[in-house]
Amino acid sequence: MTEKGYTYKAYDGRLFYLKGLSGRERKVLAQIQLAYRRRPDWARFTNYWRSKVRQLYRDLPPNERTSTLLYLIGEDLEARLGISQKYFRSSDYRDQLNLLIAERFRSRYAFCRATGLDQGFLSRLVHKSTHISVERLNRALLRIGWELRLARAIKRKSKKDAAEATLVESQLTR
Amino acid sequence: MIEIKFLIPTRQGSSGRLHSAGAIVELHRFLEERWGWHVFPPAPGGWRNPETGEVIREESFPYFVAVPEEEVEQVRSFMRDRAKVLFDQEAIYFSVAGKVEIVDP
């Protein structure tokens, strides 16, 4: 169970617990959220929140800074804004498939040989000009030791603007 | 410190789809964990395909990164090794201290 008002639900469904944030962190998070609500251009917001977080954690090594709650929330808001302003799109299974191929196989050809999928079909699939059935994709993935899993859907209040989806859950002042 | 500039087209090379948010998150995380950087809103531009002579018009995000000289290769390698996967590009405009190179993944 989560305590309402002390959690932040990210675009990809991750839940962040905010109770441990210090006063300074809460203040900076409130500034970042305020800036976000004003709907600035994505690039402007990206530079803004990052400078705030860099300043706040200036004593932390950069690779530790990117593990902080504020960084993760800023990153999430940045992605939401980019999607709502149509600079990017939400990731889908095709992106996951592409990454799987790139990270674990020498080429698409090697992936196709291992999974039994036709190379031309795979090309059309990742370029979104064809579809694949759940059974066929799962069968192909099982051949390389992977499988499809279900994940809980991320609720969106408005199809028009995914960015507004869960901000209400992240109010810091009670 | 050396200034690196590179351009990330707003759309994937072969499909013309927008990039996924996940690809941008990975690029930004890579930069953020190492150096100071800045991104600007997409700007229009173009390039000539050397094989066909066709001029391709596209919008790109301009990135500016400040890196120590000995770390320039890290950025170049990331562009070369990951850009094809993340952004589906044949080549990326990449400039180091004003000297333009085209990084071919």
ipTM above 0.95, yes or no: no
- Retrieve residue A126's tokens: 């990742």
Greater pLDDT, A28 or B12: A28
- Mean pLDDT score of chain B: 90
Are the Cβ atoms of B21 and A75 closer than 8 angstroms?
no
* pLDDT surpasses 70 at B105: no
* Per-residue pLDDT tens over the stretch B50-92: 888 888 899 999 999 999 999 999 999 999 888 767 888 888 9
Distance from C-alpha of B28 to C-alpha of B7, rounded to nearest angstrom: 14
| Shortest CA gap B101–chain A (Å) | 25
Q: Which of B105, B87, B90 is nearest to B21 (CA)?
A: B87
pLDDT at A63: 87
| Shortest CA gap A174–chain B (Å) | 31
Distance from C-alpha of A56 to C-alpha of A85, rounded to nearest angstrom: 28
Q: Which of A70, A102, A98, A80 is nearest to A36 (CA)?
A: A80
| Shortest CA gap B25–chain A (Å) | 7
Question: Which of B14, B17, B31, B88 would you mutate first to test chain A, the one with the most A CBs within 10 A?
Answer: B17
Are the Cβ atoms of A43 and B25 closer than 8 angstroms?
no
Size of interface A-B (CB pairs under 8 A): 70
Residue whose entry in the numeric block shows the structure tokens 């929330």: A73
Output phi, psi for A93, to 5 deg: -65, -25
Residues of chain B with Cβ-Cβ distance to A98 below 8 Å are 85
Contacts (Cβ under 8 Å, ≥6 apart) of A14: A72
Residues of chain A with Cβ-Cβ distance to B41 below 8 Å are 41-44
Are the Cβ atoms of A89 and B40 closer than 8 angstroms?
no
Q: How far is CA B41 from CA A40, A103, B49, B61, in A?
A: 11, 30, 25, 6
Are the Cβ atoms of A75 and B29 closer than 8 angstroms?
yes
DSSP 8-state code for residue A154: P
pLDDT at A155: 57
Q: How far is CA B84 from CA A126, A133, A170, B67, B103, in A?
A: 14, 27, 36, 23, 11
Are the Cβ atoms of B19 and A75 closer than 8 angstroms?
no
Contacts (Cβ under 8 Å, ≥6 apart) of B4: B63, B64, B65, B66, B67, B72, B75, B94, B95, B96, B97
Residue of chain A with shortest Cα separation from B60: A87
Per-residue pLDDT 10s for chain A (174 aa) are 344 568 998 887 889 999 999 999 999 999 999 999 999 999 999 999 999 999 999 999 988 999 999 999 999 999 999 999 999 998 888 888 888 888 888 888 999 999 999 999 998 898 888 999 999 999 999 999 999 888 766 555 554 444 443 443 333 332
Q: Identify whether the C-beta of residue A173 lies closer than 8 Å to the C-beta of residue A19.
A: no
Distance from C-alpha of A77 to C-alpha of B46, rounded to nearest angstrom: 30
**The pTM is what?**
0.82
Asked if B28 reaches chain A (Cβ–Cβ under 8 Å), the answer is: yes
